[in-house]
A and B are shown apart, each in its own frame.
Chain A
């Protein structure tokens, strides 16, 4: 079953069309939603939470109709807003217990799950101090924790890596990955950084101006490109020349000592090794080339504007 499915979803605000004829299925696992500001991501999230009725079209979240079953959806869905949303004068523990109760958990369960959830997002002793004194990274963890505390089946994370330093970004991405793999909770995560989503998402949906641009699984988009990247210590042009003589397709780039070889036959790999040994140069790397999502979007941009 897909976690989220929309059909001809349209939302109009006066003269502005925020979402236009959006038909997309998002599977369970981690789904990345890419789009610039104003692309319609927030509008989509509001509709998914059942807080905004669509102008036309239909949406189901975990099999529930978002127009008529908003309360049921919000019971089993968690939401982490992009904006600052934490009161500074309470501790993370108190705040989470309260938010868990606001999701309908009995008080004793709320306490238990609060301790668990804060441990899972990596907040320990500091959880008894007022949130006002937390770093940005810790705040993001609390925001994430409040979306998980009631054990949802799906979480909607709006720009969770915003404002984090590179190390914090990595930790947050790792955590999001774990929400799906270890906690078995589906994730819809928005970001404007494609590279981030490529690392953690199983599926990428991109929208632009409220229109669906692309919906694809990450595995399909980043599959083996059929090229092997080779880098040697010296005499790169000679190596390339010898390989061409052996009827291999070699693509050279700006750097003379590294080039790409098309692998139409596994024997090519043996040939490369043989040539390197023969010319007595050092082999620095031989790496299977993969497509990057950025290529997919680059070609798309060119197609759009060219």
Chain B
């Protein structure tokens, strides 16, 4: 951007000093107009960049990068521990790491989802998008994909650091590759589910600050509530029901998928083996959250017409 700024000004000054104004008039554009595909990709890229504060003022970069820093620090420590204590596995598994850091992950989605949609809704930018050669739902899909991809980039970076750390600690390669891939699947699922939840809440709370608070509250309350219900039901002897209700918490839901698909240990210490039924039920639950979230977003944007 900086070089762009300098060029026209530098060019304008000598002309003005000589008192000559070169008005070249309005120039028309005969070149190609790229279609919907390009526009949606551009909107997705802009959303992705915006999540990390690129192309925004410096203060927009502070929050996301602090959270990314917090999320990426523990893998380095784990690697160090593994080396120093000569462990044969990481102190925390790939699939358990992200649910274990859930508060940081929640903060990240809470602080970034409102940026993606409530700005456009609050300041009435939607009519400008609607007047562009895209369809209404293209906007929703681009915003969702942009946030989900940004989430995945962060979560996958954490998983990758875990993997690199494990390699540096010379842990057994085969197990590490399997774990890493499982961790990436968890990252994908978490990104999709959290992006859907975050965007829906952000879309109904046009004030950004309120959106942040609402998302973090919903995620924290859901986690706490689900954990209590799960513990109580397990103690009362119905561990299966406890497991199912426990996955009202999106992190536990994704963890449940990892447990039933990969046979890894639950990050939440849930014991009951739900078998195939659990694997299917959790997958259906996650799909429903994502599809339902996108449908709600589309409905919300449908209401916002041209004034």
Contact = CB atoms under 8 A, between A and B. Distances in A.
A45 B38 CA distance: 26
Nearest to B306: A46
A148 B306 CA distance: 18
A102 B31 contact: no
- Interface SS of chain B: helix, strand, loop or mixed? loop
A107 B39 CA distance: 11
A145 B4 CA distance: 19
A102 B60 CA distance: 23
B132 A94 contact: no
A187 interface: no
Contact of A104 (B35, B46, B56, B135): B35
A109 B125 contact: no
A79 interface: yes
Given A182-B25, A183-B26, A111 B306 contact: no
Nearest to B128: A85
Contacts of B29: 105, 109, 113, 150-151
B123 interface: yes
A219 interface: no
B38 A81 contact: no
A93 B131 CA distance: 19
Given A79-B127, A94-B55, A105 B34 contact: yes
Contacts of B57: 89, 130
B136 to A, nearest CB: 8
A133 interface: no
B132 A81 contact: no
Q: What's the interface size class on B, roughly? A: 35 or more
Interface string B12-43: 00000000000001111101111110110011
B127 A115 contact: no
Contacts of A111: 4
Contact of B42 (A71, A102, A182, A184): A102
B61 interface: no
B241 to A, nearest CB: 47
Interface in A10-49: 42, 45-46, 49
Given A71-B36, A102-B134, A128 B127 contact: no
Nearest to A146: B128
A242 B95 CA distance: 106
A29 B9 CA distance: 34
B55 A102 contact: no
A99 interface: yes
Interface string A56-81: 00000000000000011011011101
Given A74-B131, A103-B33, A151-B28, A89 B56 contact: yes
Contacts of B42: 98, 101-102, 107
B123 A88 contact: yes
A81 B127 contact: yes
Given A51-B305, A102-B132, A85 B35 contact: no
A291 interface: no
Given A102-B39, A106-B32, A130-B57, A83 B305 contact: no
A296 B25 CA distance: 37
A104 B34 contact: yes
Interface in B99-144: 119-120, 123-125, 127-135
B235 interface: no
A104 B38 contact: yes
A116 interface: yes
B303 interface: no
A304 B46 CA distance: 54
> Which residue, B38, B56, B131, has most C-beta atoms of chain A within 10 A?
B131
A211 interface: no
B7 to A, nearest CB: 9
B237 interface: no
A85 B119 CA distance: 10
Contacts of A115: 8
A69 B117 CA distance: 28
Residue of B25, B31, B307 ringed by the most chain A CB atoms within 10 A: B307
A253 B269 CA distance: 97
A88 B28 CA distance: 29
**Top 3 closest pairs, chain A to chain B, by CB:** A79-B131, A183-B26, A151-B29
30 contacts: A42-B307, A49-B130, A72-B133, A74-B131, A74-B133, A75-B33, A79-B127, A79-B131, A81-B307, A83-B124, A87-B123, A89-B56, A89-B57, A89-B60, A89-B119, A94-B55, A98-B42, A99-B128, A99-B132, A101-B38, A102-B43, A102-B129, A103-B132, A104-B33, A104-B132, A105-B34, A109-B29, A116-B26, A130-B57, A147-B131
